[in-house]
Amino acid sequence: MKTSPPRWAQYFFRWYCHPAYYEDLQGDLEELYEERVRQAGTRQAKWKYMRDVLLLFRPAIIRPFSTSSITNPAMFRNYLKVSTRNLLKYKSYALLNILGLAIGITATIFLLLIVRYEQSFDTFHSDHDQVYRIGEYHEMGGKGDVLYKTKSPVAPTMAEDYAEVVAYTRFFSPENMRLRYQDQTINPQVHYVDSGFAQLFDFGLISGDIVYSLKTRDQIVLTQSTAESLFGQEDPIGKILGVVNKELQFVVGAVVADPPDNSSLQFQALLPWLNTPEWLAPDQAGDWYNTFMEAYVKLTPTANAPGLEEALIAFRDKYFVDPEANQTHITLLPLEKLRGEETQNASIMTLLGIIAVITLAIACVNFTNLSTAQSLLRSREIGLRKSLGSLRSQLVVQFLAESLLTCLLALVLGVLLVHLLLPWFNQYFDLPLTFHYWQNLSLLLWLLGIGIGTGLLAGLYPALFVSRMNPVRSLKGDGKHQASGRYLQKGLIVLQYAASILLIAGTLVIWRQIQYMKNQDLHFNKDHVVALSLWYSNFDFQSEEQAISAIQTIIPRLEKETAITSLAFAEKVPGQYNYNYNDFYDIDHPTEPPVNIRKTTVADNYFKTFDIEIVLGRAFSPELASDSTAVIINETAMKQLGWTDLEGKFLLEGGNNAEEEMRHPVVGVVKDYHYQSLKDEIEPLLHYYYGGDAYYSSQLAVRLQPERISDGLAALEQAYESLNPHEPFDYFYSFVDQEFDQMYKSQERLGLTATLFAGIAVVLASLGLLGLASFATRQRRKEVGVRKVLGASVLQIIVLLSRNFALLVLLAFLIACPLVYYAADQFLQDFAYRAPIRIDIFVIAGIAAILIAGFSVSLQAFRAASVNPVHSLRNE
């Protein structure tokens, strides 16, 4: 019986042996083997054969791996040439493919830049992880709410009582302050801060001594741009600034850099706490009762903030005077979380992140699908290469390298697009984004990883399946996808379309909610009302009293104007009410728990000016002296108080001492009007009365005749200019309806972003489908020809070719529906007043997806169906 040497040794030898030596060496080995079998038997021969193979593994015999064809320059050039030719031959597909992925990558970079920018807030302070904002968590009827403000003495007392607190500062800007240097005046945002400010935050000292300045009563710290606008190139340190309408002077002690865009704390000048106005004193508003102060503490590096929060319960019990204080907890919010809490955009950022991932996924899927489909066109090339002696491994490497290179090309293009579009994007979305490679290194590495992954995935199918094809078949050009490849492609199409439908529907939900909020009856008339700020330091007078009496003189003048329907002073107009709350007790039931009511102050004619309906009782009357302490509440407040009428009803305002507790007769109830964004529910609200035509600081609300808007504005401007203001009229007036709609700006921006990216996603998905459909119809060219010869109509053929794709889109729709509902429901949770999720959202999104898909598929189908069968059947 003939035996043969061990198989593995043969394979091993064939693998490593130099091809030029293989034949004669293998011959020698076999001759020796047979000789040995005769002489010493099979076992010995086999053993010796193995030994010889192992001993032949020497440099002189081993094949030169370094000159294998993959890295052989000539072969490599050939691969490159063939790849380029392929890209150029199918220009539109190449463009679809590369541009599609590039757009996906650009979109992802943009979205992640936004997210990164939001996360970068307040992280530039060197000790930012030790700094916390003090907040108060109030529990009310089972519902909890955090307000990131506290009482004025909390921060300094904490620093005294707890060793973990190493420094603190309050950050408070109660009023505008007009500063004067020689004949120049400016109106900076001035904040009072404690001397610990410099220990908590570093904004970058330009000159002077900030630590000393913040401890010294008559000193002021300016930001660089404020200093430059006052002093130009002169050295600001030591210059003396006056305050308009006040007998105050400050010496510039230090200049700090302007707070960057990604700082939550924005200011133009800092004053030491010692200068705070009298009403902030601990025995007045700055007591243990009023919560309005923005305050920060810095803890030791090892301190445990949640532990300190626990300990602060005792602190609260010791100091807080509010009888309901046991429902209040002092909270410490890490500084880097402040931005997310203040803008409440954490969910929006998550949404943007999800959109980024979906867009990138769609782009990658697209790339994979198109490359896979296109690889079939190259079955002839593969057949030719194989019959000329190319190894399968070489084909695998060729395909993988090719798709990797295409992918990297797309990546580079995507990054270039970011640079190109960034200025436009920033302007459009009002963002200060920058794109530096070194700052986004991890992002770029991620994208590189994703690019390589996509390249490998896209190259894997042709590399593994197409390269396996029999050369005879592939040379005939009838390459067909393996079933596995078709399932992969179909699955990816379904995924893409499901994502597209989700994005289309999501966009619809967002816009519908914005429209809903804008069109909802607010129960007050915000149209044609101008709010004008009459802030006395805007006018040059000797004292506050003089300024106020001068401002009062313009009221009778304005009332005479025919273009003005009515006007009223107010603390704030609807949409801008302060976050000012207090507890109120029903005087008939003083032992009942109080109602926490938001408060604002209005003057005569306020309800008339805004068309706010009084449902019970009456409006304030200037004739009744008793009305000076009267209040008007809204329906929600009345409901919470459990009242049905106003007969002899009085509210007792909570306070830290009996003197402050005042009895307020309730004279009227107004209809619940939306004084804030419809995102938030209407809370109990109370209006104080500032009687007579006395000047009340802040706003003047003026209702104009709808057809005489410009006349009314001109009259207002004239009256305003007669006071010799520092700032132009434009600076201080605004239309209430426009300001109100501004509250939906962040939602609109989100809607805009979602629309943009949904558009990109849909276009990408359609391009992918278009590419696939055209490949699929190309493959069925002959079938179509035969069908036409046998009498099929164009329409029948279109239906035949489109049916499969229509089914896929339908499947995608079914998958997307529950996702859409869940996502919409989650998004709407943020809004107190929601537009209902109606069935038409699904229908519109589904029909849009099917139409887009149908259009791109049937276009291809029509083209295939209208070809003369002679052309498709000509060659076999």
Partner 1 sequence: MAKIQLGEFEEIVLLTVAVLFDEAYGVSIKQEIEERLERSVSVGALQSALRRMEDKGFLKSRLGEATQVRGGKRKRYFTVTPYGKQALTEVKDARLRLWQAIPKIAFDF
- Find the part of the chain contacting partner 1 (CB under 8 A) among 57-65, 166-174, 790-798, 828-836: 57-65
Task: Figure out which of the listed residues 61, 555, 743, 799 binds partner 1, where binding follows CB under 8 A.
Answer: 61
Contact assessment for residue 819 and residue 733, using Cβ atoms and an 8 Å cutoff = no
Q: Which is nearer to partner 1, 49 or 541 (CB)?
A: 49
Nearer to partner 1, 15 or 438 (CB): 15
Smallest distance from partner 1 to CB 90, Å: 46
Q: Assess 51 for contact with partner 1 (CB under 8 A).
A: yes
Task: Compute the distance between CA of residue 796 and CA of residue 810 in angstroms, rounded to an integer.
Answer: 20
* CA separation for the pair 169, 272 (Å, rounded): 10
Nearest CB to partner 1, comparing residues 56 and 550: 56
Pick one of 12, 16, 34, 611: the residue that binds partner 1 (CB under 8 A).
34
Report if residue 7 touches partner 1, rule: CB under 8 A: no
Distance CA 88, CA 452 (A): 23
| Shortest distance, position 57 Cβ to partner 1, whole Å | 7
Q: In Å, how far from its chain's centre is CA 168?
A: 31
Q: What φ, ψ does residue 869 adopt, rounded to 5°?
A: -55, -20
Assigned token pair, 369: 């699908």
- Tell me how far apart the alpha carbons of residues 842 and 848 are, in angstroms, rounded to a whole number: 10
Give the binding range for partner 1 (CB under 8 A) out of 54-62, 603-611, 755-763, 823-831: 54-62
Shortest reach from residue 41's CB to partner 1, in Å: 18
Distance CA 276, CA 217 (A): 10
Helix/strand/coil (H/E/C) assignment for every residue in 819-844: HHHHHHHHHHCCCCCCCCCCHHHHHH
Find the part of the chain contacting partner 1 (CB under 8 A) among 24-32, 73-81, 427-435, 582-590: 24-32
- Return the number of the residue (31 or 661) whose C-beta is nearest partner 1: 31
Q: What is the 8-class DSSP label of residue 809? A: H
How many whole angstroms separate alpha carbon 603 and alpha carbon 699? Answer: 10
Q: By CB under 8 A, name the one of 27, 144, 423, 692 that touches partner 1.
A: 27
Is 812 in contact with 819 (CB distance < 8 Å)?
no
Q: How far is the CB of 6 from partner 1 (least distance, A)?
A: 15
Report the distance separating Cα 35 and Cα 723, nearest Å: 122
Asked if 512 contacts 504 with a C-beta cutoff of 8 angstroms, the reply is no
Contact stretch for partner 1 (CB under 8 A) within 56-64, 90-98, 270-278, 389-397: 56-64
Q: Which of 1, 19, 38, 58 binds partner 1 (CB under 8 A)?
A: 58
**By the rule CB under 8 A, 60 interacts with partner 1:** yes
Does position 25 bind partner 1 by CB under 8 A?
yes
- Listed residue (308, 338, 348, 268) closest to 125, CA to CA: 338
Listed in sequence order, the DSSP H helices in 663-733 are 709-721
Tell the smallest beta-carbon distance from residue 33 to partner 1 (Å).
9
Q: Extract the tokens encoding 379.
A: 């079955």
Q: How far apart are CB 20 and partner 1 at their closest, in Å?
A: 10
Minimum CB separation of residue 26 from partner 1 in Å reads 6
CA distances 806 to 48, 644, 801, Å, are 66, 61, 10
* Residue found under tokens 């914005």: 514
Q: How far is the CB of 101 from partner 1 (least distance, A)?
A: 50
Taking the C-alpha atoms of residue 439 and residue 445, their distance in angstroms, rounded to an integer, is 12
- Please pick, from the candidates 19, 59, 389, 590, the single residue that binds partner 1 as defined by CB under 8 A: 59
Report how far residue 86's alpha carbon sits from residue 91's, in angstroms, rounded to the nearest whole number. Answer: 8
762: which 2 tokens? Answer: 């849909």
Q: Is 714 a residue that touches partner 1 (CB under 8 A)?
A: no
**How many Å apart are CA 86 and CA 411, to the nearest integer?**
20
Instruction: Please tell me whether residue 30 binds partner 1 under the rule CB under 8 A.
Output: yes
CB of 66 to partner 1, least distance (A): 17
Query: What does the CA dihedral 46, 50, 55, 57 come to, rounded to 10 degrees?
Result: 140
Q: How far is the C-alpha of 266 from the C-alpha of 252, rounded, in Å? A: 19
Instruction: Count other Cβ atoms within 10 Å, centred on residue 500.
Output: 30
1, 7, 38, 55: which one contacts partner 1 (CB under 8 A)? 55
Number of H helices, E strands in the chain: 28, 26
What one-letter code names the amino acid at 37? V
Could you tell me which stretch among 16-24, 261-269, 322-330, 518-526 binds partner 1 (CB under 8 A)? 16-24
Helix locations, 237-335, DSSP H: 305-319
Told to check if 57 binds partner 1 by CB under 8 A, we report: yes
693 touches partner 1 by CB under 8 A: no
| Given 8, 11, 31, 323, the residue binding partner 1 (CB under 8 A) | 31
- Does 32 bind partner 1 (CB under 8 A)? Our answer is yes
CA atoms within 13 A on the CB side of 219: 20
Near partner 1 by CB under 8 A: residue from 3, 11, 23, 870: 23
CB of residue 32 to partner 1, shortest distance in Å: 6
**Side chain identity, residue 870:** V
Told to check if 35 binds partner 1 by CB under 8 A, we report: yes
Can residue 194 be called a binding residue for partner 1 (CB under 8 A)?
Answer: no
Least Å distance, CB 40 to partner 1, is: 13
User: Cβ of residue 39: shortest distance to partner 1, in angstroms?
Assistant: 12
Q: Is residue 552 a contact residue for partner 1 (CB under 8 A)? A: no
Residue 476 DSSP class: H
Binding-residue total with partner 1 (CB under 8 A):
23
Q: How far apart are the first and last CA of the chain?
A: 50
Is 658 in contact with 323 (CB distance < 8 Å)? no
Interaction of residue 786 with partner 1, rule CB under 8 A: no
Task: Work out whether 19 is an interface residue with partner 1 (CB under 8 A).
Answer: no
Stretch that binds partner 1, among 20-28, 314-322, 652-660, 831-839 (CB under 8 A): 20-28
Which H helix or E strand runs over 22? Answer: helix 19-40
- CB distance 509 to 831 below 8 Å: no
CA distance 8 to 21: 19
Taking the least distance from each CB to partner 1, the nearer of 19 and 232 is 19
Q: Select 59 or 142, whichever has its Cβ closest to partner 1.
A: 59
Residues 418, 447: Cα–Cα separation, whole Å = 13
- Binding to partner 1 by residue 16, rule CB under 8 A? no
Residue 45 in the binding site for partner 1 (CB under 8 A) = no
Q: Which residue has the tokens 């300990």?
A: 311
Q: Which stretch binds partner 1 (CB under 8 A): 50-58, 68-76, 428-436, 771-779?
A: 50-58
Q: Is 26 in the site for partner 1 (CB under 8 A)?
A: yes
Interface with partner 1 includes 52 (CB under 8 A)?
Answer: yes
**Among residues 3, 8, 14, 28, which is the contact residue for partner 1, using CB under 8 A?**
28
- Pick one of 12, 16, 21, 465: the residue that binds partner 1 (CB under 8 A): 21
Structure tokens at 859: 């276009």
**Cβ 417 to partner 1 shortest distance, Å:** 55
Cβ at position 61, least distance to partner 1 in Å: 6
Q: According to the binding rule CB under 8 A, does residue 511 interact with partner 1?
A: no
Closest among 287, 257, 296, 253 to 272, alpha carbons compared: 253
| Part in contact with partner 1 (CB under 8 A); list of ranges 55-63, 143-151, 196-204, 508-516 | 55-63
The pattern of x and - marking residues 635 through 674 that bind partner 1 according to CB under 8 A reads ----------------------------------------
Spatial distance between the Cα atoms of 113 and 797, rounded to a whole number of angstroms: 48
Closest separation in Å from C-beta 386 to partner 1: 25
CA angle 290, 294, 298 (to 5 degrees): 120
Looking at the Cβ atoms of 23 and 544, the one nearer to partner 1 is 23
Write down the least CB distance from residue 52 to partner 1, Å: 4
**Residues at the interface with partner 1 (CB under 8 A):** 21, 23-32, 34-35, 51-52, 54-61
